[in-house]
Every structure is written in C-alpha cells, then in structure tokens.
Amino acid sequence: MLVATVALVLALGVASRVLADRLRIPSVLFLIVAGIAIGPELLGLVSRETFGGGLSAIVGVSVAIILFEGGYHLRLAKLRESPTVLFRLVTVGAAITWLGTAAAVVVFLETSLEVGLLVGALLIATGPTVIGPILQVVTVRDHVAAVLEGEGILNDVTAAILAVVVFEVLIAGNGTPATLVADFALRLFIGLAFGAIIAGLVWLVLDYGGSRPCTAPLHARLIVLAGIVVAYAGAETVASETGIAAAAMAGFVLGNVTLPYHEDVIGFLDDLSVVVLSFVFVALAALIDFSDIRALGLAGLAIVVAVTLVLRPAVIYLSTTTARFTDNERLFLSAVGPRGIIPASVATLFAVELQALGRPQEAQLLAGTVFLIIFATVVLQAGLARQLAQYLQVSPMRTILIGGGRVGLSLAERLEQDGENVLLIDQDPDAVETARKRGLTALEGDGTDADVLESAAADSAKTVIATTPDDDVNLLVCQLAKTTFDVETVASRVNQPDNVGAFESLGVRAIDLSMATAWSLENVLERPSLSAWMNELGRTGDVQEIEVTATDLVGKTIADLNAEIPAGVIVGLLTHRDGATEVPTGDHKLRDGDRVTFLGQTDAVDRAVKRFHPHD
C-alpha cells in the first residue's frame, strides 16, 4: 500500500509540473491542489498514518536537496545585485516578520506569547520550494530575482533554526530566554560550518577525479548526492534543524567554485529537485487538516491580512529604499512572499510535540495558522504571480535569437552584457549545450516551427532576431514573428545582398552581412581608434541608449546633470520623443520620454544607466 501511495504522489507531482509548464503557472499551485485532492478532506487516499514515522526523515532529506540546489544556483555575482536590500530583508525584515506575526497571532487568536513567537518564527520562511517555481514562469530583472532567491534560501535556514530554539527554550522550557540568542547563533554556526566542510571535501574529491572523463560525470553526480545527505545528516546528528543550514551552505560553496562537470551536476540537481519537490509538496498538502483552519474563524483571516497586506509590504518598503527598485517592483515584491515546505514540515512536527505536552488546543492553533498562511499565499501569491508581474510591467520582455552559430552566439553574449533577457533557439543540441555553458538561456528546437516559438513565448517577445546562415530559414522566422506572433521589432542577418528587399518588404530590419563587413573594414582603415574601441564594447568600453525614467532628472539641463554622471562617461546623443536625435549641448533640457545615449567606460556607463533608468 505504501509503495502504491508513493507512486501516486510522485505521479501527481510530475503531472502537476508538466501542466504548470504548459500553462505557465507556478507548479506549487497544482502541487498543493493535488495534495488536498488525495488527502483526508476529499479522496482520503493519504493521511498522517500513511507514511508512519518516516515522513519527517523523507521530508528532511528532500528539503536538504532542494535547499542545496537553490544554494548551488545562488552565485555571489547575483547576490551583489542588491546586497544592502538582501541584508536588510534577512535581518531587520526577518525580525519584523517574526515579531509582527507573533503579535498578530497573540492579539487575534488570544493565545500565549510563546506560541505566537513560534508561529512567527515558522512564517519567516518563503523558500526555494515556492520561489523557484515562480521564477521559472515569471521573468524579472536580476536585482529583483536576486532578492527573492536570496531571501528564500537564507530565511528558510533562519526560520527552521529559530523555530526549534523558540520551542525548546520558551515552550519545552529547556533553557532561559537569555539563552535564546546564543542557542540560535550556535546552531546556525554548526550548520554553516558543517556544510562548508562537506563542500570542501566534495570539491577535493571531484577535482582529484577530474582526469577520468569516461566515468567522472556519473561519479560527480553520485558524490554530490552523497555530499548533500552527509551534510544534512551529519549536522542533524550534532544539533537538530541544523541540517538544512548545512545543505544550503554546501550548495552555495560548491556553486561558487570551479567544479568539474558543472553542467552535469546542474542537470542532475534540477531533475532531482523536481522529483523531491513534487513529492514533499503533494505529501504535506495531503496532511492539511481543514478543521484546524476552520476553527480559526475570522481571526485566521485577520492574520492572513496582517501577514500579507501589512507586514510583507512594510518589510519590502523598509528594505528597498535604493533608487534601483521602482514602485512597481516594490509592489511585486510585496505581493510575492508565499510560504512553503519549511513551515509546513516543522509545524507538523511541533503540533505533535505540543500534543505530547498536553496542549492540544495550541497544537491545533499552530497547525491551522501555519497551513492557512501557506494555502492562502500559495494560491493567491504564487498562482497570480505571472499576471501580477505583467500588470505591473516588472517582467522584461524577451529577445529571441534563432540560430546558435558564431554570429548568433556572439550577439547573444553582447545582448546579455547589455542587460537584455535573451533566449537562443537552435536545432543542434551541441550548439544549445555550448550556449548554456557560456551562461546563456537556450532552447533546442526548430525556430521555423510555430509551436517552438509559442513555447518560447514569442507572443510576448520584444524582439526576434534570425541569425542563421540560411536566408530562407531567416525569412520564414521573420514571417512567423511578424504575422503569427505580432512581434514589434524583427531583425535578420541577410547572407545574400539580393535578398535584402524581401526582408525589408516585411518590415524586417535587414543586416546585409557583406555591407556590415565592408563597414567594419572601412572603420578599421579610416577610423582605427574608434574601431578598436568599438570592438572592446562590453569589456573596457560601452555604449548604452536608455529612456530617462528617473523623474527627478526631468527638466534639468545637461550641464546640471554633470554631477549625476559618473567620471568616465559622457552623454553622446539625445533622442527626443518625436524621434529627432542630436548631440546635446550643456543647455539642453531633459524632457519626459527622452532617450539618452551614454558612451564611456563600462562600469561608468552601467552606473549612469542605473541612475537615469533605475528599473534596469
């Protein structure tokens, strides 16, 4: 019976993921619905007795795998996108969420402060189990994604350890309130240190075995899996609930070093996390007791409002005070804070512990409150995340390149450096693999197939560019982009000069390869310094054209703005809303809708762009 139940849960999990990918809705919404469907409230196929005492161990290892995978993808470069904001979110923001939620629980449910603090600690966590599926279907700018991913992983660790410390010190009475901070710090240190040590050992083993390519990819996957389990189990042996900190730390360390067979490890972790995420979410959703939730009454709804509409926006607005975050991005972050596996799994454990301590009413309150918040935030925040991102216009439109050859690959890399959201499509699996190894998002498929373009969300793309060496292929791609998907900007490489007219008749921006080459050669001969500098774009020098969206700069003259422009960059061109372009003088005033072209050193141009166009 148990084997059949596990098979059913896995099948529902995978089906939910496939359905979510097709409908472009975060998979957690389907996973929680599937779990409720097979749980006691509906079909009754899964109950608390189904898995016996082994569920907590299964969930623990599964969460460790998910957090390891999340940490592996959390690169230092991504964290540097908004380090101050992220630091505030996981320190001051976490404290406000903890204490604010505790206050709401105590006031509305009239329970003890200790139980309120326990519920508040659990609900600090968002986590990669819910944030990851959202970011798979909702594209946001790097600094927004970095905040969501970093907050999810770090606060998962904080919530789990803090909840255990609160329970043991304040509820079970195994300590004094004065020892709470010290116990929290000790457990956090144990988890992080153990994870770092295991990551170092895994790296040493993989680096030593990297000279045997015939068997090493398989060995790399197995060694990494063993490392996850050892990190989790080893830390848990030393102190409870430190295993997830160890797993997250091990993933973070290994993800930021040069690891042999990196791509193999990434593919393995992605597949593994899909399976375990599907299982634990469906299994835990099946354990939701709606009688506990109904018992909360209107007080439960008041807590949902307090957590989602008061505390979350307050934390986001206090943390994102930099000009880089637009008001719409703050609104999006405020509306996306779903709770996931960590609160569900730990709340289930503590509910049992409270029952054993003879406090059944508080056990019911704890489970009901936590599962109500999880259910409400997953259904509303995760389920509507894509629509909300579109409404608030925080999702940058995609640039799709068809053709992963030398031209397409080079162009994709340059556009990525310019901050574009690029997807490269090619039929050749080797070309796709090469693109992915260079850090690009790539899709294997035929760019002349409407179904492939539809799966790439061409209907919402900003630009489609055909870069293959076959003009017939490029022309068909452009026709589909223009007529079927109504893409605003379509451009193409044209290999034969006689074919330029056919492309231009479609309204396509045609780049004649022979003329482009001739123009480049002329620059080398007639303007060698400019040509050399242009070839260095994206490395030592850069040129960026952006719309001025910093409202406080509108109405100022170019001379007034010199203080706002970093050293090493100049305003080369000014394009007005009517399309007129000129080299500005110091007397030119910026107007709403103007576009500015910056020219200068790469870092200086980047700082200027962020000042004049904060949401990029």
How do residues 349-369 score in pLDDT, each as one tens digit?
788 788 888 888 888 899 899
For residues 384 and 447, what is the distance between their CA atoms, to the nearest angstrom?
30
| Most confident residue range from 188-197, 238-247, 395-404 | 188-197
**Is there a single domain that holds both residue 429 and residue 316?**
no
Q: In which band, very low, low, confident or very high, does the pLDDT at 463 lie, cut at 50, 70 and 90?
A: very high
Query: How many structural domains comprise the chain?
Result: 3
282 in any annotated domain: yes
CATH of the domain at 373: 1.20.1530.20
- Token pair of 68, please? 């390891």
- How much is the pLDDT for 301? 94
CA–CA distance, 91 with 367 (Å, rounded to integer)? 26
Q: What angle do CA 535, 538, 539 make, to 5 degrees?
A: 80
CA angle 230, 341, 51 (to 5 degrees): 75
CATH code assigned at 416:
3.40.50.720
Q: Where is average pLDDT lowest: 35-44, 303-312, 490-499?
A: 35-44
| Average pLDDT value for residue range 297-310 | 94
**533 belongs to a structural domain:** no
Axis crossing angle, helix 262-285 with helix 429-437, rounded to the nearest 10: 90
Whether the CB-CB separation of 567 and 605 falls below 8 Å is answered with no
What pLDDT score was predicted for residue 239?
Answer: 86
Measured between alpha carbons, how far is 135 from 74 in angstroms, rounded to an integer? 13
Question: Which distant-in-sequence residues (6+ apart) come within 8 Å of 327 by Cβ?
Answer: none
Answer yes or no: are the C-beta atoms of 570 and 576 closer than 8 Å.
no
pLDDT of residue 27: 79
At 369, list the tokens: 């409150």
Q: Is the pTM of this model over 0.95?
A: no
In 3D, which of 453, 447, 400 has the Cα closest to residue 424? 400
Task: Kindly state whether residue 384 falls inside one of the protein's structural domains.
Answer: yes
* The domain boundary residue, chosen from 325, 358, 392: 392
Residue 397, SS3 per DSSP: coil
pLDDT band at 523 (very low <50, low <70, confident <90, very high): low
Same domain flag for 417 and 457? yes
> What value does the mean pLDDT of the chain take?
83
Residues 214 and 314 in one domain: yes
Give the contacts of 454 (CB within 8 A, at least 6 positions apart): 485
CA pair distance 280, 489, nearest whole angstrom: 44
SS3 assignment, position 78: helix
Query: Which candidate, 273, 330, 217, 237, places its Cα nearest to that of 17?
Result: 273
Write down the pLDDT at residue 448: 92
Please report whether residue 527 resides in a domain. Answer: no
3-state secondary structure of 1: coil
Tell me if 343 sits within 8 A of 370, measured CB to CB: yes
* 438 Cβ contact partners less than 8 Å away, ≥ 6 residues apart: 409, 413
Q: What mean pLDDT is predicted for residues 187-211?
A: 84
Average pLDDT over residues 451-468: 87
Please tell me the predicted confidence (pLDDT) of residue 302: 95
- pLDDT for 538 beyond 60: no
Question: Which domain does 432 fall in, by range?
Answer: 398-518
Q: Is residue 160 part of a domain?
A: yes
Q: Which token pair is 216?
A: 């090493």
Determine the pLDDT at residue 347.
83
- Same domain assignment for residues 283 and 353: yes
Query: Rounded to 5 degrees, what are φ and ψ at 493?
Result: -75, 130
**What is the model's pLDDT at position 594?**
83
Please identify which residue in the block is written with the tokens 């340059």: 414
Percent of the chain with pLDDT over 90: 24
Is the pLDDT reported for residue 556 higher than 60? yes
Instruction: Say yes or no: 465 and 358 in one domain.
Output: no
Q: What average pLDDT does this structure show over 228-252?
A: 90
Q: What is the dihedral of CA 492, 495, 498, 500, to 10 degrees?
A: 10
State residue 554 phi and psi, 5-degree precision.
Answer: -65, 135
Highest mean pLDDT among 78-82, 175-179, 223-227, 304-308: 304-308
How, if at all, do strands 569-575 and 595-601 pair? antiparallel
226 versus 280: which is more confidently predicted?
226
Tell me if 460 is assigned to some domain. yes
In a shared domain, residues 479 and 334: no
Same domain (yes/no): 135, 252: yes
* Residues 464, 424 share a domain: yes
- Indicate whether 352 belongs to any domain: yes
Mean pLDDT (whole number) for 246-252: 92
Of 117-121, 237-241, 476-480, 552-556, minimum mean pLDDT range: 552-556
Q: In the predicted model, what is the mean pLDDT of residues 532-555?
A: 71
At 308, the pLDDT band (50, 70, 90 cuts) reads: very high
Amino acid 58: pLDDT? 80
State whether the Cα torsion 459-426-409-72 is positive or negative: positive
Q: How many Å from the N-terminal Cα to the C-terminal Cα in the chain? A: 53
Whether residue 200 sits in one domain with residue 155:
yes
Report yes or no on 66 lying in a domain.
yes
The residue among 305 and 261 whose pLDDT is bigger is 305
Question: Given pLDDT bands bounded at 50, 70 and 90, which one contains residue 402?
Answer: very high
pLDDT band at 586 (very low <50, low <70, confident <90, very high): confident
One domain for residues 379 and 477: no
Under the banding of pLDDT at 50, 70 and 90, the label for residue 537 is low
Task: Round to whole Å and give the CA distance between 352 and 493.
Answer: 65
pLDDT score of 494 more than 60: yes
Average pLDDT of the segment spanning 563-585: 77
Q: Are residues 182 and 322 in the same domain?
A: yes
Whether pLDDT at 214 is above 50? no
The pLDDT score that the predictor gives to residue 299 is 93
For range 561-582, the mean pLDDT:
77
Task: Say what the pLDDT of residue 77 is.
Answer: 67
pLDDT at residue 416 in the model? 77
Q: Which of 518, 550, 574 is the last residue of a domain?
A: 518
Whole-number pLDDT of residue 527: 64
pLDDT for residue 213 is more than 50: no
Phi, psi of 575 (to 5 degrees): -110, 120
The answer on 500 and 579 residing in a single domain is no
195 pLDDT band (50/70/90 cuts)? Answer: very high
pLDDT tens readout for residues 64-114:
888 888 888 887 766 776 788 889 999 999 999 999 999 999 999 999 999
Token pair for residue 17? Answer: 């993921």
Helix then strand then coil, in percent of the chain rounded to 5, is 65, 10, 25
Amino acid 81: pLDDT:
66
CA dihedral 294, 299, 301, 307 (to 10 degrees): -130
542 vs 197, more confident? 197
CATH number of the domain where residue 596 is located: 3.30.70.1450
Which is nearest to 283 in space by CA: 11, 578, 510, 562? 11
